[in-house]
Amino acid sequence: MTSIARPGKIIALHLNYRSRAAQRGRVPAQPSYFLKPPTSVAASGAVLERPAGTELLGFEGEIALVIGRTARRVTPEDGWAHVSGVTAANDFGVYDLRYADKGSNLRSKGGDGFTPLGPAVLPAADVDPAALRLRTWLNGELVQEDTTGDLLFGFGRLVADLSQLITLEPGDVVLTGTPAGASVAVPGDVVEVEVDSGRHTTGRLVTTIAEGTVPFGPYGALPRVDEQQRADAYGAAEPGFELTAALKERIESVGTATLSAQLRKRGYNAVSIDGLTSTRPGTRLTGRARTLRYLPYREDLFKAHGGGYNAQKRAIDALGPGDVLVMEARGERGTGTVGDILALRAQVRGAAGIVTDGGVRDLAAVSALDIPTYHAGPHPAVLGRRHVPWDVDVAIACGGAAVCPGDVIAGDADGVLVIPPDLVEEVVEAAIEQELHETFIAEQVAAGERVEGLYPMDEHWRGRFAAWRAKR
């Protein structure tokens, strides 16, 4: 392990981890980059000033590639051979200045000390680039944890892509993106980042945040913050559909049977997750989908992906308030896909529920939790009997339904539905109206009226319904 000198250039990636892409609400088709100046480099133990007059100093734990051999027009297969080592990095940035240079990020992310690196470099020959772990702590609390098995774009591909136009020289650094969990640090905070291979570690890259005292001059863009910048800085999704508390209450005011009828009227006939039982059938489930996909068991794949901090555990740890973890287990009931410890972890994280078309271990203990879990049946075996944890936050199939990250999941004693976000408002409004009609019809039937002309309502009954509704 060796320390790192100041690089000739620093190239940083915008989005590269699936968990971060899901959090941002978009998955890039190709990598995109920005430059950071060499003067932004700092060592472990440095104190970083949050610039005076700013509010949102964001931190992003990352893995940094150190280029060891000149790379120009290399192939993705040969890209890793031009890397001499990897180290921990923290891609700090001031969101207050993003409006002035969003995309280039020069002022917002290029300040002195905004790129701590180190403390040690792991030689490339000693690590598997697809099996590195990245962790970030804020004041001692683990806030980011992911592995390079979750990358959208592998390290060799990044080197090859950049080298098509830019000569990468020995000592240059490539920051390879941050996973979900990046957020904001304030004066007095301590942020630590570590990269390890299981056998070797960079050690913790430590940065202490201090309050700056020198104000900005009036000859450049001044700090400016709005609610969207706050949402971006603290890790919220980009603008789009939001499952508000009010909308959730409206969804839960109607049954899934009614929601299903309204979806069917709009041509959506395959949005129910079938064959499942709830551990809490009297509890409504409403939330946004986070997804986990299992592959069929294969010895070599399980050896590489099944142990340690695998995709299943990362998916559980990435859950937040209101999330529903939906698992694709191919309808395989011959082993468990979640047990009591991980279900408890999901509950502690604030998740709204768990949905799996596979088995559940420790069913009695899982049923005793407050969090509802929809499952295909109990089984005592661990997942390694039939499954390899593989992907998180990708489109999956569960119980015969397609589920995308961010879809709205609605469940009750009748079953579970997947509702595309852009249809939610329309479907819920129509479902509420439908249930009003059905309440009126039920009252008339209870009073002795015949169903002919009433169900569905003819012109006479529609008039009486209008009068009934006006009195409510």
State the binding site for Mg(2+): 362
Return the SS3 of 35. strand
Cβ neighbours around 184 below 10 Å, total: 18
Binding-site annotation, residues for substrate: 339-342, 361
- From CA 204, how far away is CA 182, in angstroms rounded? 17
Q: How many CB atoms within 10 Å of residue 11? A: 20
Whose tokens are 């059905």? That residue is 438
Residue 73's Cβ-count burial label (10 Å; 0-12, 13-18, 19+) is exposed
How far is residue 47's CA from residue 281's CA, in Å, rounded to a whole number? Answer: 53
Q: What type of residue is 294?
A: Y
Contact 128, 54 (CB under 8 A): no
Cα-Cα-Cα-Cα torsion 255, 259, 260, 261, nearest 10 degrees, comes to 110
Residue 173: strand pairing partners:
10, 66
Rounded-to-integer distance, Cα 306 and Cα 352, Å? 26
Q: Which DSSP helix (H) or strand (E) runs through 444?
A: helix 424-446
Do you know the residue count of the chain?
472
Q: Is 36 helix (H, G, I), strand (E, B) or coil?
A: strand
In the chain, count of helices (H) and strands (E)? 14, 29
Q: Is 339 within 8 Å of 361 (Cβ atoms)? A: yes
Which H or E run contains 346? Answer: helix 340-348
**Whose structure tokens read 């990352």?**
62
- Please list, residue by residue across 12-25, b when 16 or more beta carbons sit within 10 angstroms of its beta carbon and e when fewer do: bbbbbbbbbbbbbe
CB under 8 Å to 472, separation ≥6 — which residues?
none
Find residue 145's DSSP bridge partners.
Answer: 135
Q: Do the beta carbons of residue 205 and residue 60 sit within 8 Å?
A: no
User: Across-strand partners of 33?
Assistant: 13
| Binding residue numbers | 339-342, 361-362
Amino acid identity for residue 113 in this structure: G
Q: Comparing C-alpha atoms, which of 165, 214, 275 is closest to residue 52?
A: 214
